[in-house]
Amino acid sequence: MIIKTSEYVGSYTSHEQSPAPDRPEYAFIGRSNVGKSSLLNMLCQRNALAHVSKEPGKTRAMNHFLINNSWYMVDLPGYGYAKLPQFWRKQWEEMTSHYMSQRPNLQCAFLLVDSCVPPQDIDLEFANKLGEWQTPFVIVFTKADRKKSHQNLKEGFLKQFEAAFLKSWSQMPQTFMTSAEDFTGRDEILHFIHNLNTQYKANV
């Protein structure tokens, strides 16, 4: 897939306020500071499409980006930022659960996981929530360039994460290894989205 156009549409605090669900939509979510904005900018090859903040927890709404005038990329607020007040955590939980479980045009959620830290319970717990919401999802491992080699990453971290994940699941979902620095995983993710877009159009 070639991304020719990418534009910010708006920020919303509920899926009812979001753009009309007349195009396939893909949600990106992960722990705060996982590198989500950097990944979105890398996919679209734009440095400032999604705002990259040095302070975690800055994204407070669902940011919609229209890609090629045919599908939406949705930047969801990150989870796990301890300094957020309790009322915002509750609002985040309600907004996210409603969006993930009720958005009719949501084709897939991309769960971002930081490959530079050991498997985190909070990521595994969110994967379980996606299962409860019956939301199709894949896992995107970020910051692969910070490892000594992709082979070490595959042999070490991935095995640890898979072992932790399979305590609750019968099998791993599809996974992608990515780096916003050297564009690792870009073609694979866009090809995956292209295939889902094709299926969506066939079923409309």
Q: Pick the more confident residue, 74 or 151.
A: 74
The contacts of residue 63 (CB under 8 Å, 6+ apart) are 8, 10, 11, 50, 74, 75
Q: What are the tens digits of pLDDT across the range 19-51?
A: 999 999 999 999 988 999 899 999 998 876 765
- 6-198 adopts what CATH topology? Rossmann fold (3.40.50)
168 vs 124: CA distance, rounded Å:
9
pLDDT computed for residue 54 by the predictor: 46
pLDDT computed for residue 53 by the predictor: 45
DSSP 8-state symbol, 79: B
Read off the amino acid at residue 141.
F
Band (149; pLDDT cuts 50, 70, 90): very low
Question: Beta strand pairing status for 137-142 and 175-177?
Answer: parallel
By mean pLDDT, which of 6-20, 98-112, 123-137 is the weakest? 6-20
- Is residue 160's pLDDT more than 80? yes
Q: What are the tens digits of pLDDT across the range 63-87?
A: 999 999 999 999 998 887 656 667 6
pTM higher than the cut 0.85: yes
Question: Beta strand pairing status for 106-114 and 25-30?
Answer: parallel
Listed by start position, the domains of the chain span 6-198
71 vs 67: CA distance, rounded Å:
5
Question: Beta strand pairing status for 71-75 and 175-177?
Answer: unpaired
